[in-house]
């Protein structure tokens, strides 16, 4: 039975393991310090060195990807989940190198929560990766990549709700990765 199921999945072009997201910037469940508030790279105090990410077993028919990084542990502190990164990625890519937020010209980035009154950055400054900076305790960060069956046509500085509207009905699959960030 197991062999026939795997053979069936192979014939259909579906991976037995599924769409997967990984990062060498997360070790033993923890985001390395350099990608957050204890790193040296920042834009007016916002940690700006983005994590390296790789994904595999991309669904057939993928034309673009959308990536969202959020901190739901921020809700008790801020009243909302903190958006750390939202970006649209061309469908031919299967990785983002470290610091892609500032160096990769192929991706289109939306604003993160550092644009809020709590972050104080301009829309342009906040349209990048804004790394972990938990104010109260260790937080868990959720990174989700969505494989989409269309090319998303938003411009730099879009809001996350605009991305979700564009994605509706076009998600082929998604993969999630979580990492915690320590406070000192």
For residues 144 and 155, give the distance between their C-alpha atoms in angstroms, rounded to a whole number: 20
Which residue, chain included where needed, has tokens 């014939």? 11
Sign of CA dihedral 87, 115, 140, 38: positive
Tokens of 7: 């053979």
Quick one: what percent of the chain has pLDDT higher than 90? 88
Return the pLDDT at 67: 98
Return the pLDDT at 184: 85
pLDDT in tens, 83-124: 999 999 999 999 999 999 999 999 999 999 999 988 899 999
Provide the 3-class DSSP secondary structure of residue 130. coil
Return the pLDDT at 17: 63
- Average pLDDT of the chain, as a whole number: 92
- Distance from the Cα of residue 76 to its chain's centroid: 22
pLDDT in tens, 141-158: 999 999 999 999 999 999
For residues 35 and 80, give the distance between their C-alpha atoms in angstroms, rounded to a whole number: 22
* Global confidence as pTM: 0.89
Tokens of 85: 């990164």
For residues 138 and 105, give the distance between their C-alpha atoms in angstroms, rounded to a whole number: 32
Say if residue 156 is exposed, middle or buried (CB neighbours under 10 Å; 0-12, 13-18, 19+). middle
């Amino acid at each position: 039975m197991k062999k026939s199921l795997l053979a069936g999945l192979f014939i259909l072009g579906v991976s037995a393991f599924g769409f997967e997201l990984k990062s060498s910037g997360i070790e033993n469940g923890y985001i390395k310090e350099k990608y957050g508030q204890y790193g040296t790279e920042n834009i007016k105090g916002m940690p700006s060195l983005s994590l390296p990410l790789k994904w595999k077993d991309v669904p057939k028919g993928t034309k673009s990807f959308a990536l969202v990084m959020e901190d739901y542990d921020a809700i008790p502190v801020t009243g909302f989940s903190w958006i750390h990164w939202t970006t649209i990625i061309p469908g031919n890519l299967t990785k983002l190198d470290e610091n892609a937020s500032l160096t990769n010209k192929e991706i289109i980035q939306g604003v993160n929560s550092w644009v809020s009154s709590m972050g104080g950055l301009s829309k342009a400054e906040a349209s990048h990766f804004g790394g972990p900076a938990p104010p109260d305790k260790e937080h868990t960060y959720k990174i989700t990549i969505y494989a989409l069956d269309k090319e998303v046509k938003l411009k730099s500085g879009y809001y996350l709700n605009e991305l979700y509207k564009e994605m509706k009905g076009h998600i082929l699959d998604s993969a999630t990765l979580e990492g915690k960030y320590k406070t000192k």
